[in-house]
Amino acid sequence: MLNFTINANRVEERIDRLAEIGKISATGVCRLALSPEDRQAVNVVKLWMEEAGMKARIDAFGNLIGRIEGLNPDAPSIMIGSHIDTQPYAGRFDGIVGVIGAIEAVQTFKERSIVPSVPIEVAAFCDEEGCRFNKGLFGVRGLLGQLEEGELERTDKNGITRRQALLEFGGEPEGFADSEYQPGQVGTFLELHIEQGPVLESLDCPVGIVTGISGPLWWTVDMYGFAGHAGSVPMGLRRDALVGASKVIVGLQAIASSQPEAPTVGTVGSLKVFPDSRNIIPEHVQFTVDLRDIDLSRRNKLEKQLRGLIDQAAQEHGLRVEIREDTNSEPRYCAPRILNTVREAAKEMKVAAPELMSGPFHDSLAMSYYCDYGMIFVRCKEGISHNPQEYASKEDIATGTELLYQTLLKMCQEG
């Protein structure tokens, strides 16, 4: 049993408190980005940041950022944190562990009267999940000046634009430029997160050290056919968009599984059918594609195969196709100096911390284009995530938070 410097009970209590905001079941949470529930959670977390001795603010992008000054206030800061928005059918730990753990690390500094050598910032980034407006990492990309044209005009399923939601949340689209970070403002980003996979559990290890993040490719695909009466149009004369889409969906499964030893994954997670009637041949189908791999050349080859499959299905069924690329990132590897520091901290804690890749992307993915980054994973039961059954034990979360604290302490001593 480890002796924790951090306050494990406080971490657990805060995670439980956030789980009450947007609660949909005994363990389920729905706290969509820029929703009233999201704002309520931000207000609560902001108070915890201030309790930990930080000056906290909500920027124009909806990010919540707390800061304590260091002995050298002009030095590039160390930023830690994650996000607190959730999927619509979510658990209590994804993102939240990283924010609460980061606040706890800073609060432990305060309670032990430790003044860091450089400023420390804690970020609860806005809309990491991307499920509401179908494009994630909004807050962190905004902070880094990486937003794309038209992002504020994206709509959710109720027709609400991101611009409208951001304004209602308290963000300020006209103030984006003032909230952007300048190059070199942050020197290191470190994120604590649940694994969202089964590797650590299979190795019986409470924490792991992330070596890199797989590169995600996200598409929105529209296939257009022609509507007709389901009872009168002969099968050979139909232009059925859903039949064409179904062949692509099944084909993606085969393409992503073609090399069993590879960590490639492919998913269609959202599907819309128009006119969505029992006795009308589907005229328009829209679906999402999520293709990920740690090997960019392999992913590129599989992307080419998938495009060929889509063209083939369209030609076979007389369909018109539009493909919109929502996200395209290469794999990003963690900085060696940060990996070494986390390794040293884990060794001194006498805790086994195997090294592994991350399939899911995180706020770290965007930060990797701006500064050196590292990640610490916490074991989660059966690898379940984006599901109310998502679970990480109090002891494992405390171990991850302690490792974050000890790593941060070493970084400050180095700086």
Residue positions in the annotated binding site?
Answer: 83, 94, 129, 193, 386
Pair 412, 118: CB distance under 8 Å: yes
**The residue type at 284:** H
CA dihedral sign of residues 336, 129, 57, 7: negative
**The residue type at 4:** F
**The residue type at 365:** L
Known binding-site positions for Zn(2+): 83, 94, 129, 193, 386
DSSP, collapsed to helix, strand or coil, labels residue 253 as helix
The residue length of the chain stands at 415
For residue 184, give the nearest of 413, 372, 411 by alpha carbon: 372
CA dihedral sign of residues 295, 296, 302, 303: positive
Pair 400, 220: CB distance under 8 Å: no
Pair 208, 396: CB distance under 8 Å: no
User: What does the alpha-carbon distance between residue 57 and residue 61 come to, in Å, rounded to a whole number?
Assistant: 11
Q: How far apart are the first and last CA of the chain?
A: 31
In this structure, what token pair is assigned to residue 68?
């304590």
| Residue 128, CA distances (Å) to 45, 270, 272, 345 in order | 16, 18, 23, 28
CB atoms within 10 A of CB 40: 15
The alpha carbon torsion through 68, 70, 73, 78 (nearest 10 deg) reads -70
């997670």: which residue's tokens? 269
Pair 192, 404: CB distance under 8 Å: yes
For residue 196, give the nearest of 288, 106, 272, 86 by alpha carbon: 86
**Largest Cα–Cα separation, the chain:** 79
**Cα 243–chain centre separation:** 32
Residues 6+ apart with CB under 8 A from 267: 252, 289, 290
